[in-house]
Amino acid sequence: MNDFSYRLITWQKQYGRHALPWQNTTDPYAIWVSEIMLQQTQVSSVIGYYQRFMARFPTIAALANTTEDEVLQHWSGLGYYSRARNLHHAAQTIMDNHDGQFPQKFETIQTLPGIGRSTAAAIVSFAFNQTQTILDGNVKRVLARHFAIAGWPSHPKIEKQLWALAETLLPQADIVAYTQGLMDLGATLCTRSKPQCPLCPLQSSCEAYQQNLVPTLPTPKPRKTIPEKHITMLIFMQGNEILLEKRPPSGVWGGLWSFPETEATNNFATSSGEKYGMQVAVTQALPSLIHTFTHFKLHIHPQPLHVTKQMPQCHDSTRRWIHIDDAMGVAIPTPVRKILQSLSHAQASNKHA
């Protein structure tokens, strides 16, 4: 066993994380769900979602046999919703093509929707004790620092170099502790900011530490100007009910329920009548919100509209009237949840005024 993996495994067994909800199991389904949730999301944010998700969908069959809308409902607020859609689709694929059994072959697992090389490696390591290497964001940071590899880690050339390096470091035994150790080290000690180098088991051989390069490695992603977009969310209200509209299956917030949107900033009464078949009274706009996606920044301007008359044509299968409090329980994006909370608090304050 090479020195890198030996020290990492020894450290993980003593100081690593051992009590996370998805640990201490070899159930590939449980491990798979956790790995998908942990993509681009911190452990602290995932734990509650994971526990609720597994309570509702304890098996592959349970997940496959539900609706996408319910899957998204249990994912609401976690973000990156394509992960939930892929998880649901993959569960159905496993039921249809693999007799309901999670496949054990590394290559086969990668054919499932939403599962790439690193996620497949984590699953086979933890569930089937197979020797495969992972390379997520935390691992890229550990390797870039330890071996002083300059360049943005997700650039194809640098990433290829890191994959090749990671392959050479694999131990011949204790793959579970090694894989978990890589994750733990990057998440708890070799963090993006304020790394705890004095506690690191790899400090003595870390080239970035020896060369005082820890603050500058890994090389940040080249900065680009983030595009900004403005939309107005139309909050149609009738008493305690609001109108939600189901978004298209792909794209931003795909498949979730949200407020109808427009790029217009005025003339809401006329446009509402033409498109939604309603006569409305325009009230004061709510404070704007900013929601940042990976590739752009969205400025949201919530505009309440009190419905005074509703035409028959406003009934549509992609739209639903729902009580404000009940709306909090459906699959909605985070900004919509914030707006609903604001509306609910306002109504509660008015009752007590």
Instruction: Tell me the pLDDT tens digit for each residue of 154-210.
Output: 999 999 999 999 999 999 999 999 999 999 999 999 999 999 999 999 999 999 999
pLDDT at 117 exceeding the cut of 70: yes
pLDDT at residue number 141 = 97
pLDDT tens-digit series, residues 296-348: 999 999 999 998 887 655 556 788 999 988 999 899 999 999 999 888 776 66
pLDDT at residue number 243 = 93
pLDDT at residue number 282 = 87
State the chain's maximal CA–CA distance in angstroms: 75
Which of 35, 207, 241, 245 does the annotation list as catalytic? 35
Instruction: Give strand pairing partners of 258.
Output: 245
Strand pairing category for 319-323 and 257-258: unpaired
What is d(CA 215, CA 218) in angstroms, rounded to the nearest whole number? 8
Residue with tokens 């790439």: 116
- pLDDT band with cut points at 50, 70 and 90 for residue 224: confident
pLDDT at 220 exceeding the cut of 60: yes
> Measuring CA to CA, which residue among 206, 66, 185 is closest to residue 136?
185
70 is catalytic: no
Mean pLDDT of 92-118: 97
pLDDT at residue number 131 = 97
What is d(CA 154, CA 174) in angstroms, rounded to the nearest whole number? 28
pLDDT at residue number 279 = 84
Q: Which two tokens mark 200?
A: 């690191």
pLDDT at residue number 68 = 94
CA distances to 5, 108, 134, 170, 180 from 167, in Å: 11, 20, 9, 6, 16
Q: What is the rounded average pLDDT for all residues in the chain? A: 92
- pTM of the predicted model, to two decimals? 0.87
pLDDT at 114 exceeding the cut of 80: yes
pLDDT at residue number 247 = 93
